Amino acid sequence: MSNSENKIISGAQAVVEILIAYGVKVVFGVPGDTSLPLYDAFYKKSSKIKHILARDERSAVFMADAYSRLTHKPAVCECPSGAGALYSIPGIAEANASSIPVILLTSGVALAGENKGIITELDHHKLFEPVTKWSSFLKHTKKIPDTLRRAFRIATTGRPGAVHLSFPVEVMKGRMNKEKMNIYCETDCMSYPAYRTRGDADRIKQLATHLDEAKRPVIIAGGGSVHSRAGELIIKIAELMSIPVATTISGQGIMPDDHPLAIGVVGDNGFHPHAHEAVDGADTLVYLGCKMGSVSTIKWTKPSPDSNTKIIQVDIDPVMLSNNYKNEVCIAGDVFLVLKDLYQELQDMDCHSDNTPWSRQINRSRKTFWQDSTAQLHSNAIPIKPQRVINAVNESLLEPLIVISDAGTPTPYITRFLRLKGKGSRFIIPRAFGGLGYAIPAVVGAFLARPDAKIIGMFGDGSLGMSAGELETLARLNVQSILIHFNNGSFGWIKALQSIHSQGRFMSVDFTQRNMADVATAFGIKSFHVKTPDELDHALNEALEHHGPVFIDVVTEPEVSELPPVYSWHHKN
């Protein structure tokens, strides 16, 4: 073959070359007849980029979502045309609304067959427009390099989010000269947030002055603080000014839970009473990377809109500023950079405000809460209390720990009782749309992103039913992880709601309760069916010694027997 022929590559090969240039190590996906050229290109570069086969397109995107959250790099997934694209919608919508840069590549049918009724024909780019930052349809092979660079740039800048690119067959098979295609990456967009935005200096001075004058300040860190990697600066400012720090669910773990100024989770789901006490008693609330949505404010009642509390909000998205409350100060900017400038400003102002009496007051309530929780956390009741499951995790596992939860049954217990101690530990949960089926595939993405950490996935019956096929993926890849299934034989969250609002008229929420360890065993995973607290402790100890995935099926107390810690369920109007 001549040198000139070696320079000619396909559009699919060009896609893979660009991904490699951006440092992409893994791509998650499911094959289809329209993606054959792309898979052939992956095969030829398998020493530089690894393709991870998922069993479902939705799962592939969830894997990419978790991978991106933990690497702080844009993640890539792919799927074929038609149903493959349709099945990808839940994952890509969750990533985008959660500000996670996931790039989805879909392979479409031939352009020559447009509007002729070819099977799987679908306007992919239109389908994804409502749930992505940008959705594009490439009709020319030569546009691949520029379009992919634009995709990475859009996904990682401003408020990060999801991007979708559709490649018809002709574009994937089209030929181009490798030397003329201008393969390179924008290094700034290899991680996120890219091109961080600095906050206005005058507004940061205002924030510093308000903190200096405050008698009862509270910082509330949201998911944007995690994306910005602002944890160390939050700790430094909190310690400098003795300011208690609460978090939303998405911000949980931004500070070590045993830090004297870390007061827990605010909001409706899995709240800490002492964190609510701090919000109610504060004269100044500083929200960092938090949308101040319905859950974190309990439908905009905490803080009360009628209070005199000063509200200060920092967010990378200016649209969110004063969106739900009348703010005293709004700062548009990256949380990390804003806090970096704020810390310097506080030092320049020689601020020595001592809020120790205020933080001690909250900590007294915090101490009482944990003392009162002791009986639940160490309960020997059968069926096993979900609180007991979380405490077993706290006591059994070493840091760094990555805990991944589905929405539903595990959520309020994890957010209230999980104790992360920093050291690279993280808590991940899909909070934008709360779809089930996230945790099991997300464990795969987390393992590939953080092989140094112990990976724990927690989920209920409903979630398992939607993602059980990925147990084969965990077994095939020998994913070092522990899966904990809360087995209460129902859509527990909805059944609890029917108990409250429908006076126990339960409708279509109950399953046939089975030993689901048998399902995991059939996929080749070491499994335990657990009915007692002692069996739970034994299973966790065994899991820690095992190399590979472990599935622990825990028969847990139904949520209708004892309502979980959801504020609105216990404080009905």
Residue ending a domain, choose from 346, 367, 388: 367
CB 394 within 8 A of CB 417: yes
SS3 477: helix
Mean pLDDT for the stretch of residues 174-194: 90
437-476 pLDDT, tens digit each: 999 999 999 999 999 999 999 999 999 999 999 999 999 9
Residue where the block lists tokens 């320079």: 7
pLDDT at 7: 84
Q: b/e per residue, 364-402, with b = 16+ CB within 10 A?
A: ebbeebeeeeeebbeeeeebbbbbbbbbbbeebbeebbb
In a domain, 527, yes or no: yes
Of the CA atoms within 13 Å of residue 68, those in its CB half-sphere come to: 35
The amino acid occupying position 194 is: A
Residue 176 and residue 86 share a domain: yes
Give the DSSP letter of residue 168.
Answer: E
Distance CA 125, CA 84 (A): 14
* Pair type for strands 102-108 and 134-137: unpaired
pLDDT at 14: 95
The amino acid occupying position 375 is: A
Q: What angle do CA 258, 259, 260 make, to 5 degrees?
A: 110
pLDDT at 422: 83
202-244 pLDDT, tens digit each: 999 999 999 999 999 999 999 999 999 999 999 999 999 999 9
Check whether 1 has a pLDDT greater than 70: no
Q: Which neighbouring-strand residues pair with 516?
A: none
Q: Identify the CATH number of the domain in which residue 31 sits.
A: 3.40.50.970
pLDDT band at 281 (very low <50, low <70, confident <90, very high): very high
Instruction: Give me the DSSP letters along 508-546.
Output: S-B-----THHHHHHTT-EEEEE-SHHHHHHHHHHHHH-
Run of H or E including 209? helix 201-213
Q: At what angle do helices 57-71 and 83-97 cross, to 10 degrees?
A: 30
Residue 308 and residue 403 share a domain: no
| 46 CB burial (10 A radius; 0-12, 13-18, 19+) | exposed
In a domain, 515, yes or no: yes
CA-based R_g, the chain, Å: 25
Check whether 5 has a pLDDT greater than 60: no
pLDDT band at 113 (very low <50, low <70, confident <90, very high): low
Please give the sequence-ordered ranges of beta strands (E in DSSP) within 379-490, or none if there are none: 401-405, 426-428, 454-460, 481-487
97: containing domain: 3-190
Residue 266 and residue 185 share a domain: no
Residue 239 and residue 180 share a domain: no
Q: b/e per residue, 305-334, with b = 16+ CB within 10 A?
A: eeeebbbbbbbbeeebbeebbebbbbbbbb
Which of the pair, 139 or 478, is modelled with greater confidence? 478
Residue 345 has phi, psi (to 5 degrees) of -65, -40
Please give the sequence-ordered ranges of beta strands (E in DSSP) within 355-474, or none if there are none: 401-405, 426-428, 454-460
In a domain, 196, yes or no: no
Residue 228 and residue 139 share a domain: no
Check whether 120 has a pLDDT greater than 80: no
525-551 pLDDT, tens digit each: 999 999 999 999 999 999 999 999 999
In a domain, 397, yes or no: yes
Residue 307 and residue 429 share a domain: no
SS3 91: helix
Mean pLDDT score across all residues of the chain? 93
Percent of the chain with pLDDT over 90: 83
Residue 533 and residue 390 share a domain: yes
Residue 360 and residue 216 share a domain: yes
CB 496 within 8 A of CB 569: yes
Residue 110 and residue 43 share a domain: yes
Q: How many domains does the chain have?
A: 3
Check whether 180 has a pLDDT greater than 80: no
Check whether 559 has a pLDDT greater than 80: yes
pLDDT at 119: 64
Check whether 2 has a pLDDT greater than 90: no
Residue 227 and residue 344 share a domain: yes
In a domain, 195, yes or no: no
Residue ending a domain, choose from 163, 190, 217: 190
Distance CA 218, CA 254 (A): 15
Residue 317 and residue 447 share a domain: no
SS3 255: coil
pLDDT at 6: 67
Distance CA 147, CA 153 (A): 10
44-53 pLDDT, tens digit each: 999 999 999 9
Residue ending a domain, choose from 306, 336, 367: 367
Instruction: Give me the DSSP letters along 261-287.
Output: TEEEE-SSBS--HHHHHHHHH-SEEEE
Q: At what angle do helices 356-372 and 273-281 cross, to 10 degrees?
A: 150
pLDDT band at 82 (very low <50, low <70, confident <90, very high): confident
Residue 186 and residue 211 share a domain: no
Q: Identify the CATH number of the domain in which residue 295 sits.
A: 3.40.50.1220
In a domain, 139, yes or no: yes
Cβ–Cβ contacts within 10 Å for residue 546, how many?
Answer: 12
CB 144 within 8 A of CB 17: no
| Sign of the four-CA dihedral 39, 41, 43, 46 | negative
Tokens (6 digits) for 349: 């102002």
